[in-house]
Structure 1
């Protein structure tokens, strides 16, 4: 690594990445009295403005409550208790809070969660370094790992540590730095695409998913005057295929709402409807957290929640290792997290196939369409089926 004079330092844990996984972990480690340094390659404004998912399930909310961070994360965030399924224009509602004895989630847009966790970490004296370039873990397979990076002024840094937490996503340096032979990767491609649109239009009363022969659509709140829309599209679709006029026409058609107002579109993006899981979520003293270890489709809203759950498990394990000399929870980290990961992957797969195949016959044929309709109908006619759905939505 070239540049100005190197600086050498040390800490207990280096956290790579300041998204939901990294910032949750760093805050939990601060609460546990475990020293850490967080390295983020992007600038602070970029991190704070990045738009992503927005539902924190009951389990995710409990994590912050149990660590004494509820006032930081949950204050003013409304509960999400009901969901609307609009099937060929017919409204059907599920009250998750009612069928799970009050275990409802919260509407917490990711940029709000990130902003609050970031502010809390800095206010509590946490060490968070933005614009850290060329971040590279070294020696994670041994007993004395280090992490090097170059700061915005061009100075190089080397941080000696006991553990490294890779919270930098699917394409980050953490997972890429693990030898290929050390991981087994499981992948699934759903054969569909999603166009996601953030627009300045009034949000719906409840999160809404529409099942129609014209393709899947969804409308979710993202604040008092903002909405997030999703539209099923071809896997290879481009922005040129979806001008604003087509977006609003298809939303009105699929949502069966000819009066849906349009408004300024602040963001268009395409979502790869694919799932990835790596096993194990650990290599030596490097621990993969959140998207670095697993990617899940947005259906069911579990990506951010799995990141929070991983961070909770790892923070407890690191506290035991650093403060009590007990490394057994660290040895169990991967197996503990993967049990939840696979449960949520199955829920996301089940829900993705049900909501898409129940509408669009071209995806899997008429037989599968009728099967999907039967699964969907069961949510509204069978108490046990509704409770099973509610349990997974709540974080199971």
Structure 2
């Protein structure tokens, strides 16, 4: 007999599938409203080894979302502030960008943010996290859903008014609702590692738009810095020394390989789900859209999804709304995702290898964007104020 049939489990307001940064933030928002929610996470525990491959940039809209979840002050305390950016090519400065106080970017590894969100949920009365639980199906009963899952050796059925797929790029929930995973323009390969910050610019994002491809570096807490380099293909021997060689050959800068984390190679690809909702099931974060992770765009967009969805869920539950309540969410968040993919595709084109006329044209464009009259627009775009 399942949990639902035995009466061991009450009807949940919301089942959130996926306990990453977006799913946990949504759970915190639901807890603030006193709604009954459970987060189902396939992993038994967070994986510290995944830290180098996770996002670090928290833009102003993302920080507002974290504040609404109750951890904004602690994030500010732990994070390092990125106050400005500098773009160079062949050692010459092409442009500078200084962020206003209201538009500062904060840098804090995603795993630390997730830990803060989970601590917040641990103190909640109406929301819980169940780890080691893998969702296998969802059945629509008309008035509610039943989420089918496996917990260890046991099968469990969890009844809920609504279900949210926050289970990442390889979302099983997206597959269950039959959503298309439509590719968008923008795809590139990168290598990355974190090390001690020896740049002398502890609050500056450094963007090297070099002929062989962009090299970016961003401050991290604790006097460290993340280095990211675009590559044509992943090096055969991927270690910190290989990344340091790429960085030095393009920029003339070097970093301490002995202080570096295990390097990561990844492909930045872009997709948008259509639809993002079906009946009582809705997608958020990477389950709904894959955005280039450069600059933390995907994570911040996912948090914005969660803020919008929190309001939609609260309204639906209070008014006993029909099951197509997510139609407006679907339209608005897909539009936001498409804007993000266009911006990310532009960023990737700007950072692509370039020579000759193309290189000169790109550098001229960067200089124009860095002019005083356009810096405000560029700053708003870079910090995702359009969210």
TM-score by length of 2: 0.88
Equivalence for 1:389: 378
Aligned-residue offset at 1:329: 6.0
Alignment-derived partner of residue 24 in structure 2: 23
Within 1, Cα distance between the matches of 2:44 and 2:198?
A: 30
Shift in CA distance, 270/336, structure 1 to aligned 2, threshold 3 Å: same
Secondary structure of residue in 1 paired with 2:310: helix
Matches for 1:1-396 after TM superposition, within 5 Å: 6-8=2-4, 9=9, 10-46=11-47, 50-51=51-52, 52-66=54-68, 68-91=70-93, 94-98=96-100, 102-125=102-125, 126-133=127-134, 135-140=135-140, 142-152=142-152, 154-179=153-178, 182-183=179-180, 185-190=182-187, 192-200=188-196, 204-205=201-202, 206-235=204-233, 237-238=234-235, 240-258=236-254, 260-326=255-321, 330-357=326-353, 360-361=354-355, 366-384=356-374, 386-395=375-384, 396=386
SS in 2 for 1:33: coil
CA distance in 2 between partners of 1:59 and 1:289 (Å): 16
Is the deviation greater in 196-205 or in 29-38?
Answer: 196-205
Deviation at 1:118, TM superposition (A): 0.8
CA contact (8 A) 2:57 2:295 kept: no
State the 1:6 CA deviation: 3.6
Secondary structure of 1:332's match?
Answer: helix
Q: Distance in 1 between matches of 2:85 and 2:33?
A: 36
How many Å separate the matches in 2 of 1:21 and 1:146? 22
Q: Deviations over 1:156-194 (max 9, x none)?
A: 211011111000011121112122xx536233353x311
CA contact (8 A) 2:80 2:219 kept: no
- Secondary structure at the aligned position of 1:161 is classed as strand
Question: Matched residues in 2 for 1:173 and 1:142: separation?
Answer: 22
Aligned equivalents of 1:270, 1:201: Cα separation in 2: 21
CA distance in 2, matches of 1:196, 1:244: 9
- Secondary structure at the aligned position of 1:139 is classed as strand
Q: C-alpha deviations, 1:280-328, integer Å up to 9, x for none?
A: 2112211110100111112342011011000011011101111243568
Root mean square deviation of aligned Cα: 2.5
Q: Distance in 2 between matches of 1:110 and 1:390?
A: 23
- From the superposition, tell whether residues 80 and 265 of structure 1 become closer, same or farther in structure 2 (CA, over 3 Å): closer
Shift of the alpha carbon at 1:202? 5.0
Higher mean C-alpha displacement, 201-210 vs 79-88: 201-210
Conserved in 1, the CA contact under 8 Å of 2:78 and 2:108? no
Do the aligned residues in 1 keep the contact of 2:24 with 2:117 (CA within 8 Å)? Answer: yes
C-alpha distance in structure 1 between counterparts of 2:180 and 2:46, whole Å = 34
Mapped contact 1:300–1:351 kept (Cα < 8 A) = no
Query: Contact (CA 8 Å) 1:13, 1:164: kept in 2 or not?
Result: yes
Distance change (3 Å), C-alpha of 1:270 and 1:245: closer
Report SS of the residue matched to 1:159: strand
Superposition deviation, residue 218 in structure 1: 1.4
